[in-house]
Chain A
Amino acid sequence: MPVHQSEALILRTYKLGEADRIVVFLTKDRGKKRGVAKGARRARSRFTGALEPLTRADVAYYERELRDLVRINYVEPLRSPLSAIDDVTSDIALGHVGYFAELIDEWAPEAHADERLYRLGASVVEALSGRAPVDRLARYFEYWLLRLQGVYPSVTACAACAGPLEKGAVMAPREHVYVCRGCAPAAGGTSISAEALRFLREAAAAAPDRLAPLALSAPAGRELETAHRRLINVHLEKELKSARVLREMSQGSHGSEASRVRR
């Protein structure tokens, strides 16, 4: 039974039996794993505080022949989303912890390593702990995640006429590419302003902890949120649970005004 030791991102956990947890984690070197953390739910467990989603940690585990579940020896946190909690933390920022974790979980390969996805996840944990503006971080993360999967459409050239997208773009209904205003259908679709496209082009070159100087107004952020949700839903063939919950949370805490704008 070889013991593996690797840096990993905890993605999610499920209760197992009386006192254990099943842990889904993305290792840096061997892809996504599922394992059992024995006694993780007991009061004084060695896993206490180490299994929150998006914890970056050193994980030791061993694989058992003919079993899908690995056995987890220890999880030594290097960076925890809990360390970011203080008086100014928002519920929406904490809600995004689950959102990022679910996105990584959906896209992480089981059988082989995806070091670029791992690095994206790890850098977003870092940025969250450094209190990066969470809306911008979310749009950045979605953009990079979809780009790494090779499914993000061009943000510079129109998908129909190949002309430049300097003056903004449209994602037509049922299409999942950006076209220029000239090629866009007369009505419908998701309009993307020049500002939103500029944010994406700059995000392509920026590390997630350098997001603060990148401008993204609330309306431009919402354009990208809509376009990205459409891209994610069409590629995953479903809506993420966490995306729905985040929407409900921001409607609840911002009152009816927010829900009206989001319609």
Chain B
Amino acid sequence: MSRPDPLAKLIEQLQRLPGIGAKSAQRLAFYILKTPREDVERLADAMREVKDRVSYCSISSNITDADPCYFCTHPGRDRRVICVVEEPENVTAIEKTRDFKGTYHVLMGALSPLHGVGPDDLKIKGLLARVGEGGVDEVILATNPNVEGEATAIYLAKLLKPLGVRVTRIAMGVPVGSDLEYADEVTMHKAMEGRREV
């Protein structure tokens, strides 16, 4: 049985989302088909709006609806400290601890030879430029405690130290091999507290 085209098209698009296989895509598509028009329009609007209004901060690469982002502009944030994380989700995890008052730099990933992610694929040049401009005392490397995150931290430390800035690495209070996205507040707090110079 061949499906009417628009439905096939929707299934095809849904299937491109991470974690959605052919079966889930079909289930979602049929769900959308049965859903009242207003609900579907709200979903479509939300998707359009996120593309129109949310973008990446030109300084920190964090996700934001105003450029530069809140952390880069708020007078209460200490611009002398930059915390480097892999993903925007990690900013949320650190903000939950409520004791970090510095700024962020989001790399948009980690060095991953296996997945073909090299230095040029990450927001490293922007970080070096921020530090190079001066006024930064400390860079905290808060990449994930796994092989990729460690390699990224060591790589960055090598590039940052010659710029005369203090470089620290978060403590491994977080279970080794895990993802900071899932670290709870207490763990994240301990990891930041226990950071050491590298």
Contact = CB atoms under 8 A, between A and B. Distances in A.
A interacts with B: yes
A241 interface: yes
A51 B183 CA distance: 18
A248 B116 contact: no
A252 B155 contact: yes
A49 B147 CA distance: 10
Contacts of A95: 111, 113, 151
A48 B178 contact: yes
Contacts of B152: 91
Interface string B78-99: 0000000000000000000000
B119 interface: yes
Given A52-B146, A82-B176, A252-B119, A241 B114 contact: yes
Contacts of A90: 154
A48 B116 contact: no
B177 A249 contact: no
A81 interface: yes
A58 B194 CA distance: 33
A contact residues, range: 35 or more
Contacts of A48: 175-178
Contacts of B115: 241
Given A82-B176, A90-B154, A52 B147 contact: yes
Given A43-B178, A50-B177, A52-B177, A91 B111 contact: yes
B150 interface: yes
Nearest to B198: A87
Contact of A94 (B154, B175, B176, B198): B154
Given A41-B182, A91-B111, A242 B116 contact: yes
- The bracket for how many chain B residues form the interface is 20 to 34
Given A49-B177, A252-B119, A89 B114 contact: no
Given A41-B179, A49-B176, A253-B155, A245 B118 contact: yes
B150 A94 contact: yes
Interface string B54-65: 000000000000
Given A41-B182, A51-B177, A82-B147, A98 B114 contact: yes
B113 A245 contact: yes
A42 interface: yes
A208 interface: no
Given A94-B154, A241-B113, A246-B113, 13 more contacts: A15-B18, A15-B19, A43-B184, A89-B150, A94-B147, A96-B113, A241-B114, A242-B113, A245-B112, A245-B113, A245-B117, A249-B113, A249-B151
15 contacts: A41-B182, A42-B182, A49-B176, A52-B147, A82-B147, A82-B176, A85-B150, A89-B150, A241-B113, A241-B115, A242-B114, A245-B118, A246-B113, A252-B124, A253-B158
